Amino acid sequence: MSAYLDNLPFPILIGDIGGTNARFALINDASAALQRLPNVHTGSFPTIDDAIAATVIARGGAQPRSAILALAGPIAGDRVQLTNSDWVVEPRKSVERFGLAEMILLNDFEAQALALPDLGPGDLDPIGNGVSRPDAVRVVLGPGTGLGVGALVRARDTWVPVPGEGPHIDLGPVTDRDMAIWPNIERVLGRITAEAVISGPGMLRLYKAICRTDGVEPRLSTQEVVTASGLAGSDRQAVETLTLFTTYLGRVAGDLALIFMAYGGVFLGGGIAAKIAPILKAGPFRRAFTAKAPYDGLLERMATAIIVKEDAALGGIAGFARAPSRFGVALDGRRWRA
């Protein structure tokens, strides 16, 4: 069996499966537009197969003959546990239950990376004055229920996505204020990782840590309220939470830019970045991104931007499904056939 995809039988079910929401669409043929299906809250169904049965199969119409699903978690073996959801994906069972010819599983930010070559100016909200080199390495990351990270490398006229679990790197304090806050951040499995702070749950974790540091009782109980209060300027600790959240996101983005030498740009996806765009563009993110002495000047030249295109990951999966030869997606251990 080839390690790379030649083609898949249409219609193709594609899905972007996060810790909170699952987004599905159908592609009826190589030239057809996406047929978007209703979003699914992962907590509303016990399994992903039950969600597919209710959302895709029960609706009638053309039934999928194959599927490509991008999951928030590492793809390994015949049982894939999502990192921030109770869902376990078992592709052999799905292929049998839905009569599919085959199923492919990708990482969710691998799908975000696949979208990058087709994003135009209207799909991006730039941060700073960096310039993207057309064929250079690109990085995508984004906070949501968790924190996703992926990269895209150009090699032999092919775009090669690089999935990984970068969100689980350690995150450390830098400034005196960080040093004061860090002892008050709730540990996750004994660690303070990038995802433990730079995510939806992480934003609330950071807000509570700031309140403890300031000796005040936390008034806000959800990430959504912290975000709204911080944007409105109605709560001092929430304002600082957004400032530090974007600062820490900038630090991690700058680290990834150095690791990959991302002259193609660093792009912010996920569910939170677009909502806090005014704070991201106000300065802390870009200052933290470039504060990497002795390489400040190098990072100043790199582009950073927020992805504002709706359903970008689904677009990336669709681009791969329609023209797989554009991408070097290795499928060993990630492709199941009937």
120-308 shares the fold of 12-107+313-337: no
Q: What is the pLDDT of residue 184?
A: 98
Average pLDDT, the chain: 93
Q: What is the pLDDT of residue 3?
A: 56
pLDDT of 171 higher than 80: yes
Cα angle, residue 307 at apex, residues 303 and 309 outer, rounded to 5°: 140
Q: What is the pLDDT of residue 257?
A: 97
N- to C-terminal Cα distance for the chain? 13
Span 41-63, average pLDDT: 90
Span 177-202, average pLDDT: 97
pLDDT of 6 higher than 80: no
Q: What is the pLDDT of residue 1?
A: 38
CA–CA separation, 15 vs 6, rounded Å? 20
Give residue limits of the domains in the chain.
Answer: 12-107+313-337, 120-308
Whether the pTM exceeds 0.75: the reply is yes
Protein fold of 12-107+313-337: Nucleotidyltransferase; domain 5 (3.30.420)
Q: What is the pLDDT of residue 4?
A: 61
Q: What is the pLDDT of residue 164?
A: 81
CA–CA separation, 301 vs 299, rounded Å? 5
Span 146-171, average pLDDT: 92
pLDDT of 10 higher than 90: yes
The sign of the torsion formed by the CA atoms of 186, 188, 192, 196 equals negative
Outline where DSSP puts E strands in 199-302.
Answer: 265-268
pLDDT of 2 higher than 50: no
Protein fold of 120-308: Hexokinase; domain 1 (3.40.367)
Span 107-114, average pLDDT: 92
